[in-house]
Chain A
């Protein structure tokens, strides 16, 4: 469907898809099998300028918004969600600096992240704090001109590979959720090291790793925003990034549909190509409808969020849930259409299914997204003057 993109937006799509076609697709099975971080592919991506897609031009980026980011990651996800996640996580890591960082922090970090010279990461989750981010225990204590950070972060995408980390830590344990803050920590800072590397079901090309802060000392000016703003920064970041997860889902589902339709036309059983069976046609019809519905929602939400609305969280959550659920459903049907071949590693759809699952879990599980939407609805309807009953 034509979404009436501008010339610039179409070019972003074209270039991202070129990377998928020429570079990602040929190696995705290999990267998955070897659980290999896509260093070479990220270097290629750095040369396209796409790492800077939502960084303002004054900091070396392309000046796009949530929508432009979605267009790019969707095309990369057609290649490999493991690679696309590594790419997108750098943007996630940059958002706290971009949205709340001081002019000095922005000048210091954003140009290198935008050019892809340095990779970023976002570190919130801990062993005891997943959905309940308020349970984080990592501490940051001010000492003279420094903060001293102690604690462990878990399952951090780009962990060990990234150079710049947005790290959330408690600065005032007496203040509850208002006691958290966000800091920039660099690879190589004293007391900062990497622990366990996870072995995963899917997105195996991406690195998911433990971060260990053992009295890690950082200069005071690495605080993003003010003390106590940690969770606001995290939530505002998610409002910007969640449609991107939806876009990953759209790209993955599109790839599953493309492969399934192509296969169904070629595979002959009972003397006919299997696409001539109505059961297969109906599956493809449902898949195509879901992909288009997911894309339409993700695009409209992304465009809406770029207008900086007040009710961003609800819509960001909707786009994430819907498109990630579609990704899982469509990938599952693709495996079914390919039958036994679909179950084998020789064909790319079993990987799509394994990769799709993460989209329902990270950046806030889909249950948490539904909580966000539900709580918002409760508030909205509570305020409504006009009633029907």
Chain B
């Protein structure tokens, strides 16, 4: 079984500030880390490897040269291989261009039985890359997966968390899943894997290696462009009600009355 895990490097801080003049993220002085949800993607893949010994886990990321760090981290926790997809031409990619590029890399890694992504990236936050990637590669996918097990060698039984409740699906492989933190507690680095990672040369793939046209990736290959990014204004008119239902209803009633809501 070959599993590819997609990892994204994101700014460490949860509340990254936006430069109001250029509308871009202020990345200066902010360390880069692995997208927190992607730890669970990696854990999901490694859990399968724990149980099915013939499993190979390949971690990939598209990003600047320093994104290598998240791959080193993945190798230190037990991934078998890692590929850095990095080139100036990839800069400024929107979700389509990101997915298109990742898809090209995965095609080169075939056969791939399962692709695992995080639920979403904490900076871009779109949760689109997983589904787009599956669509480009023409594979079935399931998002918000909280647990999974093998029915047989070519089928997964997955449990999805949706707003309405929980859905249990049978997913034929090859497929893609995006996972929630319920899949398992991310493991620590292991001694052996870390020693191996330190001696591992991570290959870097650019448009040439992927066999894609430079115009179809990065900013040039993007259908969308960010016009403006801004922090929403804080709404100040919130009140928090506490106590028993009766007390809260009373309090709400008087508050509405004070606001001179018609009819009260």
Cβ-defined contact, B190 with A47, below 8 A:
yes
Cβ-defined contact, B187 with A49, below 8 A:
no
* B135 interface hit (Cβ, 8 Å): no
CA distance A232 to B62 in the complex (A): 59
Q: How far is the CB of B33 from chain A (nearest CB, A)?
A: 14
CA distance A7 to B194 in the complex (A): 11
Which residues in window 180-202 of B have CB below 8 A to A?
Answer: 185, 187-192, 194-195, 198
Cβ-defined contact, A23 with B195, below 8 A:
no
* A52 closest partner in B (C-beta): B191
B190: contacting residue among A8, A22, A23, A48, CB under 8 A: A48
* B78 closest partner in A (C-beta): A47
Q: How far is the CB of A7 from chain B (nearest CB, A)?
A: 8
Q: Which of A12-20, A293-301, A323-331 contacts B (4 or more CB under 8 A)?
A: A12-20
A15: contacting residue among B185, B188, B198, CB under 8 A: B188
* A44 interface hit (Cβ, 8 Å): yes
Cβ-defined contact, B187 with A44, below 8 A:
yes
Q: How far is the CB of B173 from chain A (nearest CB, A)?
A: 26
Interfacial chain A residues near B189, Cβ < 8 Å: 15, 18, 48
Cβ-defined contact, B188 with A19, below 8 A:
yes
CA distance A142 to B115 in the complex (A): 58
Q: How far is the CB of B36 from chain A (nearest CB, A)?
A: 13
Q: Which among B191, B192, B198 has the highest number of chain A CB atoms within 10 Å?
A: B191
CA distance A18 to B185 in the complex (A): 15
CA distance A50 to B193 in the complex (A): 12
CA distance A206 to B191 in the complex (A): 25
Cβ-defined contact, A12 with B188, below 8 A:
no
Interface on chain A toward B: helix, strand, loop, or mixed SS? helix
* B50 closest partner in A (C-beta): A47
Which residues in window 135-187 of B have CB below 8 A to A?
Answer: 185, 187
Cβ-defined contact, B191 with A22, below 8 A:
no
Q: Which among B188, B189, B192, B195 has the highest number of chain A CB atoms within 10 Å?
A: B188
Interfacial chain A residues near B192, Cβ < 8 Å: 49, 62
Which residues in window 188-247 of B have CB below 8 A to A?
Answer: 188-192, 194-195, 198
Cβ-defined contact, A47 with B191, below 8 A:
no
Cβ-defined contact, B191 with A23, below 8 A:
no
Contact size range, A: 10 to 19
CA distance A19 to B185 in the complex (A): 13
A11: contacting residue among B185, B187, B188, B191, CB under 8 A: B191
Which residues in window 15-73 of A have CB below 8 A to B?
Answer: 15, 18-19, 22-23, 44, 47-50, 62
Cβ-defined contact, B188 with A47, below 8 A:
yes
Q: How far is the CB of B248 from chain A (nearest CB, A)?
A: 33
Interfacial chain B residues near A12, Cβ < 8 Å: 191
* A12 closest partner in B (C-beta): B191
Q: How far is the CB of B40 from chain A (nearest CB, A)?
A: 15
Interfacial chain A residues near B191, Cβ < 8 Å: 11-12, 15, 48-50, 62
CA distance A47 to B191 in the complex (A): 9
Interfacial chain B residues near A7, Cβ < 8 Å: 198
Interfacial chain A residues near B190, Cβ < 8 Å: 15, 47-49
Cβ-defined contact, A48 with B195, below 8 A:
no
Interfacial chain B residues near A15, Cβ < 8 Å: 188-191, 194
CA distance A46 to B152 in the complex (A): 28
Cβ-defined contact, A22 with B188, below 8 A:
yes
Q: How far is the CB of B198 from chain A (nearest CB, A)?
A: 8
Q: Which among A8, A15, A47, A62 has the highest number of chain B CB atoms within 10 Å?
A: A47
Q: How far is the CB of A373 from chain B (nearest CB, A)?
A: 34
Interfacial chain B residues near A47, Cβ < 8 Å: 187-188, 190
Q: How far is the CB of A68 from chain B (nearest CB, A)?
A: 10
CA distance A47 to B189 in the complex (A): 8
CA distance A15 to B190 in the complex (A): 7
Q: How far is the CB of A131 from chain B (nearest CB, A)?
A: 37
CA distance A89 to B195 in the complex (A): 26
* B194 closest partner in A (C-beta): A11
Interfacial chain A residues near B187, Cβ < 8 Å: 44, 47
Cβ-defined contact, B194 with A44, below 8 A:
no
* A53 closest partner in B (C-beta): B191
CA distance A50 to B189 in the complex (A): 11
* B189 closest partner in A (C-beta): A15
Q: How far is the CB of B49 from chain A (nearest CB, A)?
A: 12
Q: Which among A7, A8, A19, A49 has the highest number of chain B CB atoms within 10 Å?
A: A49
Interfacial chain B residues near A8, Cβ < 8 Å: 195
CA distance A22 to B77 in the complex (A): 15
Interfacial chain B residues near A23, Cβ < 8 Å: 188
Q: How far is the CB of A12 from chain B (nearest CB, A)?
A: 6
CA distance A18 to B191 in the complex (A): 12
Q: How far is the CB of A223 from chain B (nearest CB, A)?
A: 33
CA distance A319 to B256 in the complex (A): 73
CA distance A162 to B187 in the complex (A): 22
Q: How far is the CB of B226 from chain A (nearest CB, A)?
A: 35
Interfacial chain B residues near A48, Cβ < 8 Å: 188-191
CA distance A314 to B188 in the complex (A): 37
CA distance A31 to B145 in the complex (A): 31
CA distance A182 to B244 in the complex (A): 65
* A49 closest partner in B (C-beta): B191
Closest 8 CB pairs of A and B: A49-B191, A47-B187, A49-B190, A48-B188, A49-B192, A48-B190, A15-B191, A15-B189
A-B contact pairs, 5 of them (CB 8 A): A18-B189, A23-B188, A44-B188, A47-B187, A49-B190
A interface with B by C-beta (< 8 Å): 7-8, 11-12, 15, 18-19, 22-23, 44, 47-50, 62
Besides the contacts A7-B198, A48-B191, A62-B191, what 13 more A-B pairs have beta carbons closer than 8 Å? Answer: A11-B194, A12-B191, A15-B188, A15-B190, A15-B191, A15-B194, A18-B189, A19-B188, A22-B188, A44-B187, A44-B188, A47-B190, A48-B188
